[in-house]
């Protein structure tokens, strides 16, 4: 009998079945659809073999029985091709919608199956050449062609939104199916169509549904890809779940001190599995993530893990455990992972034991996340602006400079509070791009305006701490200045004491290059924090800006008055100019003028104002 190829296909399917059932899987919906396709393919191959057998012995069997078996076989070909189409659709619909659509499609296939069973079928058998023909077979060919075509068209049209691996695997399956049908049509002795379904399922298994691909064998749990898939399905189903993340501060440091990290992680996995009965994963950062429906078992597991490492001071100091009661608070695993990172950075002191993430922490993170998104959008959509705060020169009795301050315009036209976005930008590095944008806008302003006609000598631009730590800062700023062909003498760069402390050598090299090019520097916020007079000595600045609090303190205590007088004498002795910030009243103005302060900046004269208002202000005030 001509059943060797079909038997090989059935052996392949049985092998997949046994392997699948003996493996630890995530029980995802796509796995369920794959199972149905696998069972259907096994039935198809079994009926293929059985149809050849009954045809071989048809003389001893009732003809209706033989025809029934042959029809059942060709009907399963329709069901197999249908499952390829249904499997692709798992990426296009939610589980609930996919179930509804698959039921509709299966209803259609059931109707087609009944039609095929009613239609007449012919049987040809001569030696090893065995096949069926007739209206029933033609109906099957037409139905199979429709589902194959629907599958390939769906992959082609919706490829961008489909899982690329799934789409490629199913497309390859369909091509194998088509090639097998063509070969069998040209050579009836080769019964390959049923075998092609086995090859197609094998391709799906290797590319998409292999449980081994979701496992981290080294640690003994699911891997990061499986974690993303599992979280995605839970969120899609809106199924409540809790998450625990177990992380270690520095795995390399632990290894350097003789800790066998893999064994430590395996212990965490074993304890988590034992105490929670949940799914355990290792993410891309080698953190252990546990997912269950009950946060109480997570707390018990966390205490068990800490107890396990209680006598090892090195591990106990490095381990951090965070429990998120409601995983539905985040749209995907990436966002949840960023939240855990945020907690490790923002609540490091609280992470000596177990940190329970509450609604306040989530709200704080969401606020930061929203601000980050707004900053990115503002940079992309050109909604970053510069406001100018005029600076008055006591010597020239006019406004001779201004400080450029970054502002972000909301989509609705309102302004975002600098106190809301600047700390976030400084913490995540966005301040670098904001700083470059402000510098470029200032260069554009200088190029477009007649600074001399306005009575302006220079514009002050703040450099963030992160910018001060950049080795290529000078090259970047010089390149922008040359792009707009501005006179560098018309730009004064502000640095803070914090910036000079953290990267003094890098900053000094940048300052030397920028000063050689023609820029000048001022030291901002002098008198704030850990003030050190040596900063003024070491840094090649030409202006020192007194901090707001120092200016205010002058009017509150005698000691502050003596300090400010000493600073004025020191600065003028070093040929430095002084700016008093935060001047808001006539009394403050007269006090600073009396002490010989060179420049006044504050709300007494003007708040920071947009470019157009600033130009009009300077024209009116400077005559």
Indicate the SS3 state at residue 504. Answer: helix
- Does residue 53 carry a pLDDT above 50? yes
| 170 compared with 499, residue with greater pLDDT | 170
Per-residue pLDDT band for 549 (boundaries 50, 70, 90) equals confident
Residues 400-405 have a mean pLDDT of: 96
| Mean pLDDT computed over 183-202 | 81
The contacts of residue 108 (CB under 8 Å, 6+ apart) are: none
- Which of residues 316 and 189 earns the better pLDDT score? 316
pLDDT in tens, 426-476: 888 899 999 999 999 999 999 999 999 999 999 999 998 888 888 899 999
Whole-number percent of the chain with pLDDT over 90: 48
Contact of 521 with 492, CB cutoff 8 Å? yes
Mean pLDDT, range 193-215, rounded to an integer = 84
pLDDT value for 444:
96
For range 259-275, the mean pLDDT: 90
The pTM assigned to this predicted structure is 0.60
Chain centroid offset of residue 478 CA: 34
With 50 as the cut, is the pLDDT of residue 290 above it? Answer: yes
Q: Which two three-digit tokens encode residue 87?
A: 């499997």
Quickly state the pLDDT bin for 530 (edges 50, 70, 90). very low
Would you say residue 526 has pLDDT above 90? Answer: no
| Cα separation, 205 vs 221, whole angstroms | 20
The per-residue pLDDT for 235 is 87
Is pLDDT above 50 for 1?
no
Task: Identify the sign of the CA torsion 205, 207, 208, 214.
Answer: positive
All structural domains of the chain, each given as residue ranges with its CATH number in brackets, are: 4-209 (1.20.1070.10), 214-357 (3.30.70.270), 369-622 (3.20.20.450)
- Answer yes or no: is pLDDT of 350 > 70: no
Angle between helices 95-118 and 63-88 (to 10 degrees): 160
* Mean pLDDT value across the chain: 88
* Whether 546 contacts 526, CB under 8 Å: yes
Going by pLDDT thresholds of 50, 70 and 90, the confidence category of residue 497 is low
Please compute the mean of the pLDDT values over residues 23-36 and round it to a whole number: 86
What span, in angstroms and rounded, lies between the C-alpha atoms of 542 and 393?
A: 15
* pLDDT number for residue 255: 84
Distance CA 275, CA 289 (A): 14
Q: pLDDT tens across 68-94, in order?
A: 999 999 999 999 999 999 999 998 988
Q: Which two tokens stand for residue 329?
A: 């608070």
Kindly list the distances between the CA atom of residue 308 and the CA atoms of 269, 302, 313, in Å, as whole numbers in the listed order. Answer: 12, 10, 11
Residue for token pair 């969120």: 235
């Amino acid at each position: 009998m001509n059943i060797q190829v079909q038997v090989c296909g059935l052996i392949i399917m049985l092998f997949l079945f046994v392997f699948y059932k003996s493996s630890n899987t995530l029980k995802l919906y796509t796995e369920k659809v794959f199972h149905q396709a696998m069972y259907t393919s096994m039935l198809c191959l079994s009926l293929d073999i059985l149809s050849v057998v009954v045809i071989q012995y048809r003389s001893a069997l009732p003809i209706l029985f033989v025809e029934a078996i042959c029809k059942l076989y060709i009907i399963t070909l329709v069901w197999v091709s249908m499952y390829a189409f249904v499997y692709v659709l798992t990426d296009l619909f939610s589980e609930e919608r996919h179930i509804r659509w698959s039921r509709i499609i299966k209803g259609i296939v059931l109707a087609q199956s009944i039609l095929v069973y009613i239609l007449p079928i012919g049987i040809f058998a001569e030696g090893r050449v065995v096949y069926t023909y007739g209206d029933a077979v033609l109906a099957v060919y037409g139905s199979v062609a429709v589902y194959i075509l629907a599958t390939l068209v769906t992959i082609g049209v919706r490829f961008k939104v489909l899982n690329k691996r799934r789409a490629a695997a199913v497309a390859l399956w369909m091509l194998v199916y088509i090639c097998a049908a063509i070969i069998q049509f040209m050579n009836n002795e080769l019964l390959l169509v049923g075998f092609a379904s086995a090859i197609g399922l094998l391709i799906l298994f290797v590319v998409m549904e292999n449980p081994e691909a979701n496992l981290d064998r080294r640690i003994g749990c699911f891997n990061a890809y499986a974690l993303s898939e599992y979280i995605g399905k839970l969120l899609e189903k809106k199924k409540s779940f809790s998450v625990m993340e177990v992380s270690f501060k520095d795995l390399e440091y632990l290894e350097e001190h003789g800790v066998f990290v893999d064994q430590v992680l395996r212990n965490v996995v074993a304890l988590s599995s034992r105490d929670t009965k949940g799914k355990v994963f290792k993410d891309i950062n080698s953190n252990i993530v546990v997912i269950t429906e009950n946060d109480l078992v997570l707390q018990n597991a966390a205490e068990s893990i800490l107890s396990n490492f209680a006598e090892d001071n090195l591990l106990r100091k490095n381990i951090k455990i965070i429990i998120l009661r409601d995983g539905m608070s985040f749209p995907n695993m990436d966002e949840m992972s960023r939240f855990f990172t945020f907690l490790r950075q923002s609540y490091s002191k609280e992470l000596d034991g177990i940190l329970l993430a509450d609604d306040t922490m989530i709200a704080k993170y969401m606020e930061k996340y929203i601000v980050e998104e707004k900053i990115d959008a503002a940079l992309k959509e050109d909604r970053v602006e510069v406001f100018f705060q005029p600076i008055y020169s006591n010597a020239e009795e006019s406004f001779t400079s201004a400080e450029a301050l970054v502002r972000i315009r909301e989509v609705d036209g309102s302004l975002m509070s600098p106190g809301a976005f600047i700390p976030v930008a400084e913490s995540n590095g966005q301040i670098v791009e904001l700083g470059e944008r402000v510098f470029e806008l200032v260069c554009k302003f200088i190029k477009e305006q007649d600074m001399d006609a306005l009575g302006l000598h220079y514009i002050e631009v703040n450099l963030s701490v992160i910018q001060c730590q950049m080795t290529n800062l000078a090259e970047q700023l010089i390149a922008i200045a040359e792009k707009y062909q501005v006179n560098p003498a018309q730009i004064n760069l502000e640095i803070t004491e914090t910036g000079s402390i953290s990267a003094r050598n890098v900053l000094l090299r940048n300052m030397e290059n920028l000063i050689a090019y023609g820029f000048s520097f001022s030291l901002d916020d002098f008198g704030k924090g850990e003030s050190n007079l040596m900063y003024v000595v070491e840094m090649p600045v030409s202006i020192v800006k007194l901090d707001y609090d120092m200016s205010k303190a002058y009017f509150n205590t005698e000691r502050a008055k003596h300090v400010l007088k000493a600073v004025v004498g020191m600065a003028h002795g070093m040929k430095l100019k002084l700016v008093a910030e935060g001047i808001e009243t006539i009394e403050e103005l007269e006090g600073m003028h009396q002490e010989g302060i060179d420049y006044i900046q504050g709300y007494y004269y003007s708040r920071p104002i947009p470019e157009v208002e600033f130009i009009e202000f300077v024209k009116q005030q400077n005559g």
